Amino acid sequence: MDLQKEPAPGPAHDTAVLLCNLGTPDAPTAPALRRYLAQFLSDPRVVEIPRAAWLPILHGIILRTRPAQSAAKYASIWTDEGSPLAVWTHKQAVMLRGWLGEAGIQAQVLPAMRYGQPAIAAQLQALQDAGVRRVLVLPLYPQYSATTTASVVDAVNAWTRDARHFPELRFVNDYHDHPGYIAALAASVRAHWRREGARGDKLVLSFHGIPERNVRLGDPYADQCRSTAHLLAQALGLADDEWLLTFQSRFGRARWLEPYTQPTLERLAAAGLASVDVLCPGFAADCLETLEEINMEVREAFLHAGGKRFAYIPCLNDNREWITALSSIAQTHLAGWTAPAAKVQP
């Protein structure tokens, strides 16, 4: 599915939802990864190192070696439709528009990527060209972080700086404790247990990590991850020793949020833990970090360390309970925009 050729919106509605995800390369090739990583890792929200020190490292070392390595990983999860992240985000946008329509809300819903295509600026311009006057920007990040949510806001603001006129804008900061989101996660875990006919000895909730320094400077991400994990464990009726929160995808040498997912699972396997179920609640759609890092790399590490059974629970993707929750989140933030206009008394 080529999201770069996403059609312009159809018959104009006054209101739209821009469903934003992190992004993905155009293809599982080294040149495509080089373009994607150059944009991603140049974002000062992602790498908070002074530009004068970081950019020579990025362009002189990382972009010379990492693209080929990352391309091989992307190739291992690429589908006939394209990048899983792009495919699922597009499907979520289509389904959300339908769910909103069922609720009586006629709104455009377009997918957008912070890095790669379709770009946030291009989708905002398409909505403005179609006559949309109000846009709800809904990042698909359940937990707020400056590295993700704030970067989406930056991209929107960059577009407005170059626009003579732009729609009224609203932003969703997070939905880490939204009852519908927690219920959708719990339903996906229960459905997995039913399919498998068994539960792992421990449910591991793996969230994407960020540097500890970010948290010390005031980023609420870690607290929101812990809140999500506790609410989900409570919804599933799990005792404290039946679940575990970890953080994955560490990059660089700085200390990131702990405990780290792979070393933790290796230690547990070596200590005799036989089976685990692993869920990544911070990802709204399956992607490289879930399908390759967790379901391939971490799986292999756990089994190699002595574990007997590793079960990965897919992200919410196009789960109906999840789209219902997403619709509820959108409707809350669309309130007042989609109600019939009040009559002016003479």
What are the tokens at 208?
């994407």
In the beta sheet, which residues pair with residue 171?
Answer: 137
Please give the sequence-ordered ranges of beta strands (E in DSSP) within 10-151, or none if there are none: 15-23, 108-115, 134-139
Asked whether residue 165 is marked as a ligand-binding residue, the answer is: no
* Burial class (CB within 10 angstroms; exposed 0-12, middle 13-18, buried 19+) of 173: middle
3-state SS, 126-181, equals HHHHCCCCEEEEEECCCCCCCCCHHHHHHHHHHHHHCCCCCCEEEECCCCCCCHHH
Q: How far is CA 135 from CA 170, 184, 288, in A?
A: 6, 26, 29
Q: Which residues of 71-90 are buried (b: 16+ CB within 10 A; e: fewer)?
A: bebbeebbeeebbbbbbbbb
What are the tokens at 230?
């506790």
Asked whether residue 289 is marked as a ligand-binding residue, the answer is: yes
For the annotated binding site, the residues are 208, 289
For the annotated binding site for Fe(2+), the residues are 208, 289
